[in-house]
Amino acid sequence: MMSEKVKLVDHVEAINWNRIQDEKDLEVWDRLTSNFWLPEKVPLSNDVPSWKTLTDEEKQLTMRVFTGLTLLDTIQGTVGAVSLLPDATTAHEEAVYTNIAFMESVHAKSYSSIFSTLASTREIDEVFRWATENPHLQKKAQIVMSYYQGDDPLKKKVASTLLESFLFYSGFYLPMYWASRAKLTNTADLIRLIIRDEAVHGYYIGYKYQRGLEQETPERQQELKDYTFDLLYELYENEVQYTHYLYDSVGLSEDVKKFLHYNANKALMNLGYEAMFPASVTNVSPAILSALSPNADENHDFFSGSGSSYVIGKAVNTEDEDWDF
């Protein structure tokens, strides 16, 4: 529980959605609300036969990964997104943060739905106890929490974006891996909904960071850039240790680390910075990428494939209505 007194927004006016100061607020609100979902819609119980095919070690790994994700979603729902509220520059931005906070709580609850479908009460209690004792997981939580309790609005946004766009991915790897082997596919469908939400959250908080950064002096912009990379390194080092701890026994650590690099680049881009890891260390196995997105592998690109026989086609007639599909 939070011991510090929560800082509240000190002035409120009735929110008028017909007077928008930043069109991104409305666009993202629409996007998030149209993406709304609940775990009850996903037929998780269809995964029970598949779960039974996993070894005890694989089951334990899976439960640990999901408990780690539960902790991050709990932090983001009860502290992270809420800590951004007092710094919002528009009433609509505040409303978007309340949506983000709520959805993080939906995500956290989703893992419990997975657990109650697949595991016994004893196993569930055991893995939650593991989570409170694992040093890498606790360190991850403690680093992020310390920044949320700070009073720099832009630094809080950096920590939040790194959580949304980077810290989840050591965990998200595993359900994508199972899906690529046709295991726990309904669970993977649920995780994909979470992954979709986190992309919008990271995009939006990173966007608000960039808008705030524009108002700062060059010295302060440099300070924030240095801070971002320092925090990323600190979190990255811990993530690598956490990854080895979890995945060494199943031989997946090296590919998980590529996935970390790939997503660290995306987190930096959400904050407006250039990708840091070169392509040689972000080449995640194609099976994982296509479990994430069927169009993501390079065979779908004309430049990378064998598209030399292309003949330029004829332009069709178009009307506005034709594009409404």
Q: What positions carry a catalytic annotation? A: 111
Q: Determine if residue 43 is left, alpha or beta; phi over 0 gives left, psi from -120 to 50 gives alpha, anything else beta.
A: beta
Nearest residue (CB) to other proteins, 60 versus 160: 160
Binding-site residue set: 73, 104, 107, 164, 198, 201
We find the least distance from the C-beta atom of residue 83 to other proteins, in angstroms, to be 22
Using the minimum distance from each CB to other proteins, give the nearer residue, 31 or 109: 31
Which is closer to other proteins, CB of 10 or CB of 319?
Answer: 319
Binding-site entries for Fe cation: 73, 104, 107, 164, 198, 201
Q: Could you give the CA distance from residue 177 to residue 228 in angstroms, rounded to a whole number? A: 30
Residue 218 or 307: the one with the smaller Cβ distance to other proteins is 307
For residue 109, what are its two tokens?
């609850």
Distances (CA, A) of 31 to 196, 225, 237: 11, 29, 34
Q: Could you identify the residue written with the tokens 């993080």? A: 104
Answer for the pair 47, 113: CB distance below 8 angstroms, yes or no.
no
Could you tell me the smallest distance in angstroms from the CB atom of residue 93 to other proteins? 14
Alpha-carbon distance 107 to 172, whole Å?
Answer: 13
Contact 210, 271 (CB under 8 A): yes
Nearest approach in angstroms of CB 230 to other proteins is 22
For residues 118 and 48, the answer to whether their CB atoms sit within 8 Å is yes
Residue ranges binding other proteins (CB under 8 A): 23-24, 27, 31, 34-35, 192, 195-196, 198-199, 203, 207, 210, 265-266, 269-270, 272, 274-275, 278-279, 282, 289, 292-296, 300-304, 307-308, 310, 312-320, 322-325
For residue 23, the minimal CB distance to other proteins (Å) is 7
Nearer to other proteins, 217 or 295 (CB): 295
| Residues ≥6 apart with Cβ < 8 Å to 213 | 154, 221, 224, 272
Q: Which two tokens stand for residue 209?
A: 């960071």
Give helix 135-148 / helix 56-75 axis angle, nearest 10°.
10
Q: Which 3 state secondary structure label does DSSP give 308?
A: coil
CA angle 140, 143, 145 (to 5 degrees): 105
CB of 242 to other proteins, least distance (A): 21
76 or 134, CB closer to other proteins? 76
Q: Rounded to the nearest whole angstrom, what is the least distance from the CB of residue 262 to other proteins in the complex?
A: 9
Query: Would you give the end-to-end CA distance of the chain in angstroms?
Result: 47
Q: CA angle 40-42-44, nearest 5°? A: 95
For residue 111, what are the CA distances in angstroms to 105, 128, 190, 237, 240?
10, 12, 9, 26, 23
